[in-house]
């Protein structure tokens, strides 16, 4: 499958942002990718009703890994070290890789070898 120039540019931009985030936050939780919660794959929308706190990083910041004793009692204040704020900040969570699934091509594209 050949992606459009615009699609390739968006993919490269997103990968650059992912690499920068990973370099900045090397101690992030790899189980939840810095989200602080796990979303079951089976859940229907709205998925926020079904989220579970990540057990691997419980009591620690999902982004910087620092111990957060104030969270042990259920507090939801931002991380005292890096400012992670329960997914409310633009940089709180690692971006997922951008996947196209062929949206950048018309369905009748003769160059689309995957479906051809």
Beta strands in 1-116 (DSSP E): 37-38, 52-53
Q: What pLDDT does residue 23 have?
A: 96
Q: Which helix (H) or strand (E) holds 20?
A: helix 5-24
What would the two tokens of residue 15 be? 């990968």
What would the two tokens of residue 40 be? 């079951």
Q: What pLDDT does residue 112 have?
A: 46
| Residues pairing with 67 in the sheet | 60
| pLDDT band per the 50, 70, 90 thresholds, residue 97 | confident
CB 4 within 8 A of CB 12: no
Mean pLDDT of the chain: 78
Q: For 7-17, what is the mean pLDDT? A: 87
90 vs 19: CA distance, rounded Å? 16
Q: What pLDDT does residue 109 have?
A: 47
| pLDDT band per the 50, 70, 90 thresholds, residue 48 | low
Provide the percentage of residues in the chain whose pLDDT is more than 70: 72
| pLDDT band per the 50, 70, 90 thresholds, residue 62 | very high
pTM exceeding 0.85: no
What would the two tokens of residue 115 be? 């479906």
24 vs 35: CA distance, rounded Å? 15
99 vs 11: CA distance, rounded Å? 8
């Amino acid at each position: 499958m050949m992606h459009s120039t615009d699609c390739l540019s968006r993919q490269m931009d997103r990968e650059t942002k992912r690499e920068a985030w990973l370099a900045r936050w090397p101690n992030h939780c790899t189980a939840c990718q810095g989200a602080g919660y796990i979303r079951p794959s089976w859940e229907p929308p709205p998925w926020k009703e079904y989220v579970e706190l990540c057990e691997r990083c419980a009591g620690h910041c999902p982004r910087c890994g620092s111990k957060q004793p104030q969270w042990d009692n259920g507090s939801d204040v931002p991380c005292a070290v890096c400012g992670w704020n329960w997914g409310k900040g633009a940089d709180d969570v690692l971006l997922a890789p951008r996947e196209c699934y062929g949206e950048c091509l018309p369905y009748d594209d003769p160059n689309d070898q995957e479906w051809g």
